[in-house]
Amino acid sequence: MVVPVTSRGRPLDASVEQRVLPATRELLAASSLSDLRIDDIARRSGVAKTTIYRRWPSLTHLVVAAMADLVGEREVTITDDPEEDLQRIALAGLRSLRTAGPSLPPLALTVHRHGDAQLRREYRARLIDPLRGALIDCLQRGQARGVFRADADAPLAVDAMIGAAIYRLAILHETPTEADAKDLVSLLLDGVRPQPSREREQ
């Protein structure tokens, strides 16, 4: 079964997307979310305001779509092997951070700091929860089968891996490489796999 880990919105005309979504991100990076206006996006993108409103019913929907476009689609195949699924989903998510690059964290923080609760909910529902939820589900399926430690905190383990990647991007200004992504996944798996007892090790 193929499951998208970035929720899809309504299909959009490619030429409109290619002009409007980058223009939205450019304006958001240059000023602030509070100052962002559809009129300004229309002028910068060269797309009529009426066309923009037909595609995105509100500024909230447009901002979230612009962020989702930066991250890209993330799809993985869910199988009967929770450990393999965990590796594939985690690598898909970490690769999307590489694709987005260092421009993602400041834009994401702008969204999360904004007072619009609906915007924060939409952003989380489309960009955060699908990937995070899929990873947590893999861990919990593995725990139920004895593949992973029953006492491992699945949400905390997932957040630690994602947080490490974002720290690299946002604080160190380093884009995680493919090797970095694989190392982060290995660290996650090492932390949740059953460990030999001390008696057995001695």
Where is the domain boundary, 48, 68, 88? 68
DSSP 126: I
Whether residue 86 is found in the same domain as residue 164:
yes
CATH number, domain of 166, equals: 1.10.357.10
Lowest model confidence (mean pLDDT) among 7-11, 37-41, 105-109, 188-192: 7-11
- In terms of Cα–Cα distance, which of 77, 83, 81, 94 is closest to 189? 83
| Structural domain range at position 46 | 2-68
pTM of the model: 0.78
pLDDT at 199: 38
Q: Do residues 56 and 62 lie in contact, with contact meaning Cβ atoms separated by under 8 Å?
A: yes
Do the Cβ atoms of 47 and 12 come closer than 8 Å?
Answer: no
* 131 and 102 assigned to the same domain: yes
How does pLDDT run across 156-175, given as a tens digit for each residue? 999 999 999 889 888 888 88
The answer to whether residues 158 and 134 touch, using CB atoms and an 8 Å cutoff, is no
pLDDT at 3: 53
Distance from the Cα of residue 111 to its chain's centroid: 14
Domain boundary among 47, 68, 89: 68
Residue 40 has pLDDT above 90, yes or no: yes
Average confidence (pLDDT) over 103-129:
84
SS3 content of the chain, % helix, strand, coil (to 5): 70, 5, 25
pLDDT at 6: 53
Q: What is the pLDDT of residues 53-107, one digit of tens each?
A: 999 988 889 999 998 888 887 777 788 999 999 999 998 888 888 888 777 888 8
Same domain for 169 and 126? yes
Question: Encoding tokens for residue 159?
Answer: 């957040």
The answer to whether residue 199 sits within a structural domain is no
Evaluate whether residue 132 is within a structural domain.
yes
Q: For the chain, how many structural domains are there in total?
A: 2
Q: What is the pLDDT of residue 11?
A: 54
**52 and 101 share one domain:** no
Identity at 194, one-letter amino acid code: P
